Amino acid sequence: MDLRHVRAFKAIMQTGSTVEAARMLGVSQPSVSRLLSEFEAATGERLFTRANGRLIPRDVAELILPDVDRTLAGFEGLLSNVDRTALPLRIAAPAGVIAQIIAPAVRRLLLERPGQKIVAEIMSYHDVIAAVASGRVDLGFVKAPVEHPALETVPLVTVGTDVVLLSDHPLAAKDQITPRDLVDEDLILLGRNRPFRAQLDQIFLHAGMRMEVFIETQAVSAACSFVRQGLGITIANALLARGASGDGLVCRPFANAPQHSFSLAFLKEPSRPRMLAIFSKHVQDVSMEILAQKLR
């Protein structure tokens, strides 16, 4: 039993309905029904009877209500004495996402909430999902789709694929680049264990070509650093590619390439829903601003 069960019980006592209780708590009706079942199992008592579509409290429910009220009052009193900015907002994302998207979003958050502490952990998209689901972090930047029973997601953007190259490269004059354009080019690509790399393999195979991979790395930001040194060309999702471009690099759309969807993931019943909503909006705004930039 935890506070979610106690709050669900109190909301049902107040409304006489799991539907109304769900609306009061800002969760789904099935979640309230499940919490009630778990609360009854923990108490060992059936707490309500159903009549005319309403939940009628039994005597035992009326008996425990004062204790429930005291428990909730004590907890709310504790929260009122806690400095919420003293609790860090814990975020997880790959390194390039932290640098290009999370950092500007954090800056905007701190303008609204000075003193808010932040913990930003760098990890792969796969590890981000596990970290959010375990409660290690509050919010994670992930590639969609995400299928995990404990998580909810907020869609951010869906983007195409870009080729990143030096601004004085002959291919920079093209509006769009095809696999055929990359014959004899040294490619700098993400490691072959990634799904996107497998998709690129299929694109080149369908074009009757083999990719000439010169350098392999594990991050778009690292690949772009190699491109900036004149060591080749990289192919990456347009969001991170455009975020890393500039300073001598340009992006050009890669023809008939995969789409990439990104989301923010958090627990279905987050401890700080308003904070997550505020920060999620900043992340979305930064992402859209990156995509709105010219290809340079």
pLDDT at residue 215 in the model = 94
Characterize 81-105 residue by residue with b for buried, 16 or more Cβ atoms within 10 angstroms of its Cβ, and e for exposed.
eeeeeeeebbbbbbbbbbbbbbebb
pLDDT of residue 247: 83
Helix (H) or strand (E) holding 277: helix 273-292
Q: Where do the H-state alpha helices sit in 81-168?
A: 95-97, 103-112, 125-133
CA 126 to chain centre: 12
For residue 71 the two structure tokens come to 């428990």
Superfamily for domain range 84-158+261-292: Periplasmic binding protein-like II (3.40.190.10)
pTM exceeds cut of 0.75: no
Identical fold between 3-80 and 84-158+261-292:
no
What's the pLDDT at 274? Answer: 83
User: What pLDDT was estimated at residue 244?
Assistant: 85
- Provide the residue-wise pLDDT of the chain in tens; the chain has 296 residues: 778 888 889 999 999 999 988 888 777 888 899 999 999 998 888 999 988 889 999 999 999 899 888 888 877 666 555 555 568 999 999 998 999 999 999 999 999 888 889 999 999 898 999 999 988 999 999 998 888 888 999 999 999 999 999 999 999 999 999 999 998 899 999 877 778 888 888 898 888 888 788 999 988 889 999 999 999 999 999 999 998 888 899 999 999 888 999 999 999 878 778 888 899 999 999 999 988 875 55
Q: Dump the DSSP string for 188-223.
A: EEE-TTSHHHHHHHHHHHHTT----EEEEES-HHHH
- Map tokens 């990289």 to a residue: 234
Structure tokens that stand for 206 in this block = 């369908």
Length of the chain equals: 296
pLDDT recorded at residue 79: 56
First to last CA, the chain: 56
Q: Where are the domains of the chain?
A: 3-80, 84-158+261-292, 161-258
CATH architecture of 3-80: Orthogonal Bundle (1.10)
Characterize the bridge pairing of strands 161-166 and 233-237: antiparallel
Tell me which CATH code domain 161-258 carries: 3.40.190.290
User: What is the rounded CA–CA span in Å between residue 167 and residue 220?
Assistant: 18
